[in-house]
Amino acid sequence: MNARFYAPSARDLGSEIELPDEEAQHLTRVLRLKAGDSLAVFNGHGGEFAAIVTSATKSRVRVRLDGRAAAKPELPVSLTLAQAVLKGDRMDAVVRDAVMLGFTAVQPIVTSRSETSLAALARSARHERWHRIAVSSAKQCGRAVVPAVAPPITFGGPDTLTHLPSPQFLLVEPGASALTTAVAGVDATAPAAATLIVGPEGGWTAEEVQRYAGHAHPLGVGTLTLRADAAALVAAAALLARWKLV
């Protein structure tokens, strides 16, 4: 199988495009490809191509798009993950897994118990880092789509997430709300789009659950306590199975 590279500008067959810096370095320094070598290129919004290296120096690589290739099919449901920012590099793992599982967008949120702030996240350029991780995960799992990672926002009043698709599911601990539905209680017909909202290590405050329960379905997955960095993966896999999409 040819090595696979991300080139957001790839669009027209026959055109010659330049690879982004990081991709160019990977191609020349790690894989040591040269002019004339074949490669696969995806543009992150669904386009997958067969291509040829036309010129390669250490930092600049140009490739010609020679043919369209079949992109891996996307899920028929457009899934958004609203994930509370986790500690250290755990959020990186969540972004990576969300891409692997087929989410189409990630909205990082800062909740009452998040141990960070929008300012701290901006200082550490986390948002750019998450985008790079999304690209890298799409390369590994074979997706032609790189999910958008939105800039982090504060999870405040119940209208904070109205810009995200409905139905919305608020992942809660077993017994956190009288309104909690098990996955088996979710409508078995797959919606066109949905949002999964997942809290931080310390969970939601009772107030957050109460405020949001009228807007999102509180969803419980089993009776065990899931690790914060595995919760989205487990809940999403269960929902996809509920909707017969896996």
Residue closer to a second copy by CB (options 13, 241) is: 241
Name residue, tokens 């993966």. Answer: 233
Residue closer to a second copy by CB (options 41, 231) is: 231
Chain residues that interact with a second copy, rule: CB under 8 A: 72-73, 75, 96-97, 100-102, 140-143, 182-184, 221-227, 230, 233-235, 237-242, 244-246
* Both tokens assigned to 218: 């509180």
Residue closer to a second copy by CB (options 198, 221) is: 221
The minimum distance between CB 143 and a second copy, in angstroms, equals: 7
Residue closer to a second copy by CB (options 7, 232) is: 232
The minimum distance between CB 194 and a second copy, in angstroms, equals: 15
Strands 153-154, 105-110: pairing kind: parallel
Residue closer to a second copy by CB (options 10, 221) is: 221
Residue closer to a second copy by CB (options 217, 242) is: 242
The minimum distance between CB 72 and a second copy, in angstroms, equals: 6
The minimum distance between CB 162 and a second copy, in angstroms, equals: 28
List Cα–Cα distances, 246 to 39, 104, 239, in angstroms: 30, 16, 10
CA dihedral 151, 155, 157, 159 (to 10 degrees): 50
The minimum distance between CB 222 and a second copy, in angstroms, equals: 4
The minimum distance between CB 52 and a second copy, in angstroms, equals: 25
The minimum distance between CB 7 and a second copy, in angstroms, equals: 20
Residue closer to a second copy by CB (options 100, 118) is: 100
